[in-house]
Structure 1
Amino acid sequence: MSLLLALAAQAAAAQPAPPAAPDYRRSEHWLCLPGQKDVCNTPLPTTALTPRGYGSNGPSTVASGPKLDCFYVYPTVSQDRGMNSDLVVSEEKAAASSQFARFSGVCRPYAPVYRQMTSAAIGAAALGRDIMPNFAIAYGDVREAFRNFRARNRGRPFVLVGHSQGSWLLQRLIAEEIEGKPNASEMALAIIPGFNVLVPDGKTIGGTFKSTPLCERAGQRGCVVSYVSFRTNNPPPPGALFGYAPAPGMTVACTNPAALGSRGWAKMDSYWPTRTTYAVPGGPIRWSTEGAPPTPFVRTEGLASGRCVNAGPRGYLEVRTNVTPGAKWSDRIGGEVGVGGLFIPGWGMHLADVPVAQGDLLGLVEAVAR
């Protein structure tokens, strides 16, 4: 036995340690900081879109003296060569703008630059390559950034915000840095859609997290909002990357941000980027019969509805559009991930996870602040 332990120790020692994390005391390693002129403190021109067509337009707001701080980890966006990104900001700004900048209206924004796993790494993982050493680099950066964030915010209550890879990293951060620690009482909310959170079937706690529950009502503190989106009539296929639990007795958590604790359909408050280059099933979206949108974002209240579905290992937010005869707004939304002209069934409406319910997510942050 001692020989086996010695050999195991030698094997562990042979693995190179992850490179040191950036120095997050330096502002250049942050996409967003409170009071800094950056992408999160830049108002976003937005137009209301209703069944009657385009309505009022105006910029998003930046709150003065909000009660909460938000810590954001962006999703997989890097096209850098190699398995981990560099620290030169490029695609990351667009992600922070569309997913996180509006949160500056309800909390002070913090968003670190980190050496995330690149698109190439995600492709390599799909082919069976072990990317956990690359995950360790990304997570080490996020952990160090979070510790620096906690030193900066001096015990103020905080909200975690992520998507996709960002949500995966925040899952581990909650498990290692928050659960059972003083931080737990100061985490007001965790918003981590786009990556499976596992719970025992029929339960709101257990599985991915030991003591952090799923949110069941607006205003509940210290809980998790998590879901993966799939278009109605297109549920996750067996073995799907998202929406299908690989462990017996487990299901994928679904908390509908438009109606926490409900299993019924609820109309969603959405913010859509209108100038995206992502492919959409059926071709580009014509947002209104009145012509092209006048701003880079439109807000639609009730164009899409969602409901949580849990059936054995499957768990997902089912999304549909609400067709209104004679309406001037679109009856189509995007969200599927396209590769080589094909859309990946097991990813569902991954790109719509945040925009389809962004207004509802902002409302949940407002509720815990109250």
Structure 2
Amino acid sequence: MAVRIFLYLIAGIIALILAAGVVWTVFSDELLAWYFVPDAPLEVLEPMPESEYAAADMWLIRPDIANPASDWLPDNYVDHDADEIIDEETEAAAAPEGERIPVFYVLPTTYLDSDRWNAPLRSPAALERQRLFASSQASVFNDIGEVWAPLYRQAVIGAFMTERRESEVSLHYAYRDVEAAFDYFLSQIGEDRPFILAGHSQGALHLLTLLREHIAGTDAQGRIAAAYIIGWPISVEADLPALPLPPCETARSSNCIIAFQSFADPADPHQVRRIYDETTGYTGAPRRETSLLCINPLTGTRDGVAGAEANNGALVPDGNMENATLEPNRIPARCDEQGLLVIGQPPEGYDRYVLPGNNYHVFDFLLFWANLREDVARRTSAFEAGLRDAA
């Protein structure tokens, strides 16, 4: 199954950059908002009942859907020597047949138009992008268990570029769909069965809300082998103490959160923090001037540092962005003092779709694809061992 590595903001950013380099440099935030923030009135969306998610067409991926995008593997994955991609400890940690752990994966933003605040469930262009994202992101988890990826009426990309009330409401509408899908997911996987949460960008934001408002204090909280909340800022001081799961401090921690945001040197997160810094954290404290949670995917540890030799395989897109190969030893990573995951100088092969500020947001999963596969196997094994010890 071929995969094109699409990534969002492409059309808009290219159009704006072509307008004028100086204007873009000075007014990039304003231009992006002008281009993407909807002028349309906010449509009132009724809550989606859990029963709606019994229908297969409410899901991009679930176990009864043939040829899911999450089954994708790079063509050269099997060509690598096992020691290059999966060390013996991680190989032994993989879940044995019959003990596979389901994954609830929430897609990032894929609707790029500004004609509305919430995307339709089945926009043809957005669906194609969703398949592409799932190929490069949800495929990380396909060796552990079946992936479930709901369709939801996601907030459009412009909702993240404004402080208007419509933005908050559109995100709430999107979250309600995710919550309904999650409840159906739980009803189908079986009582007491462990599971994994995974999401990127908007999907990560909705998982944070799900953890705080729906999972905290329930039996489901203790069933989470790991939560991959990637590509969304989590304030260490203002958010983390109010979340029901701790950060993954070590490479074998489980029932914990993995979070990071990828930047190259020199890292400039102003576009990420411009609105974020004006908000209040989950604890009620301001997020301004707080550090961000960073779990290094190369070390599996909080605030870790690793050279490129620790990277067992990054997905590198081809020149046409129509496929990707797995290449080890290319991308280092260190958590800096701000809590950004810094990958050193901009690596070759990704420059066409880097966001302002050397932000490699759209490549968060791709840069560390093989290590993330190892990470989920290791944490799943540790979680299951803990369950056995407690029995």
TM bracket, shorter-chain basis:
0.7 to 0.9
Quickly say closer, same or farther: Cα 1:205–1:92, change in 2 above 3 A. closer
**2:292 pairs with one of 242, 252, 273:** 252
Number of residue pairs matched by the alignment = 310
Choose the corresponding residue for 1:309, options 314, 333, 336: 336
More helix by share: 2
Q: 1:353 to 1:121 in 2, by over 3 A?
A: same
Distance in 1 separating the partners of 2:352 and 2:252: 31
Please name the residue that 2:60 is paired with. 31
Paired position in structure 2 for 1:366: 377
- CA distance in 2 between counterparts of 1:349 and 1:44 reads 22
Match of 1:272 among 291, 299, 315: 315
Once the two structures are superposed, residues 303-335 of structure 1 have per-residue CA deviations (whole angstroms, 9 ceiling, x without a partner) of: 00001112xxx220010269xxxxxxxx51426
Q: Any unmatched runs of 5+ in structure 2?
A: 1-41, 86-94, 279-285, 382-391
Aligned with 2:350 (options 320, 329, 334): 334
- Bigger drift between 32-41 and 177-186 goes to 32-41
Map Cα deviations across residues 30-61 of structure 1 (whole Å, 9 max, x no partner): 111124313235443422699xxxx99xxxxx
Amino acid in structure 1 at the alignment position of 2:368: A
In the TM superposition, residue 217 of structure 1 has moved relative to its aligned partner by 1.3
Amino acid at match of 1:118: V
Shift of 1:127: 7.3
- Aligned residues of 1:40 and 1:109 also touching (Cα < 8 A): no
Mark the runs of 5 or more structure 1 residues left unpaired by the alignment: 1-14, 57-61, 279-294, 323-330
CA 33–238 in structure 1, closer or farther in 2 if over 3 Å, else same: closer
Alpha-carbon contact 1:335-1:348 (below 8 Å) kept? no
SS at structure 1 position matched to 2:116:
coil
State the one-letter code of the partner of 1:263: G
Q: Structure 2: which amino acid aligns with 1:251?
A: S
Q: What is the aligned counterpart of 1:141 among 167, 177, 201? A: 177
1:195 and 1:227 in contact (8 A); partners too: yes
Structure 1 segment 284-303 matched on structure 2, within 5 A: 296-303=323-330
Measured after TM superposition, the shift of residue 236 of structure 1 is 2.5
> What SS class does the counterpart of residue 332 from structure 1 fall into?
coil
Q: Which residue of 1 aligns with 2:364?
A: 353
Tell me if the contact between 1:32 and 1:109 (Cα under 8 Å) persists in the aligned partners.
Answer: yes
Aligned residue among 223, 236, 239 for 1:186: 223
| CA deviation profile, 1:129-153 (whole Å, cap 9, x unmatched) | 6311111111000000000000011
CA contact (8 A) 1:24 1:148 kept: yes
Task: Tell me, yes or no, if the aligned pair for 1:200 and 1:249 is still in contact at 8 Å.
Answer: no
Structure 1 counterpart of 2:350, one-letter code: G
TM-score by length of 2: 0.70
**TM-fit CA distance, 1:90:** 3.2
1:250 match: secondary structure: coil
Q: Using the alignment, how far apart are the partners of 2:154 and 2:57 within structure 1?
A: 16
Look up the match of 1:290. Answer: none
Percent of aligned positions with the same letter in both sequences? 24
- Out of 264, 273, 277, which is 1:231 matched to? 264
Match of 1:85 in 2: 119
What is the Cα-based RMSD across aligned positions, in Å? 3.4
CA contact (8 A) 1:49 1:300 kept: no
Could you state the TM-score of these two structures normalised by the residue count of structure 1?
Answer: 0.74
Distance change (3 Å), C-alpha of 1:336 and 1:158: farther
**2:104 pairs with 1:68:** no
C-alpha distance in structure 2 between counterparts of 1:224 and 1:250, whole Å? 18
CA distance in 2, matches of 1:63, 1:87: 36
Map Cα deviations across residues 220-255 of structure 1 (whole Å, 9 max, x no partner).
Answer: 111000011110222434873599796256311111
* Stretch of structure 1 that moved more, 99-108 or 349-358: 99-108
The alignment partner of 2:175 has SS state of helix
Describe the superposition over 1:62-121 as per-residue Cα deviations: whole angstroms up to 9, x where unpaired: 995453111100111123542211111332111111211341112211100111112344
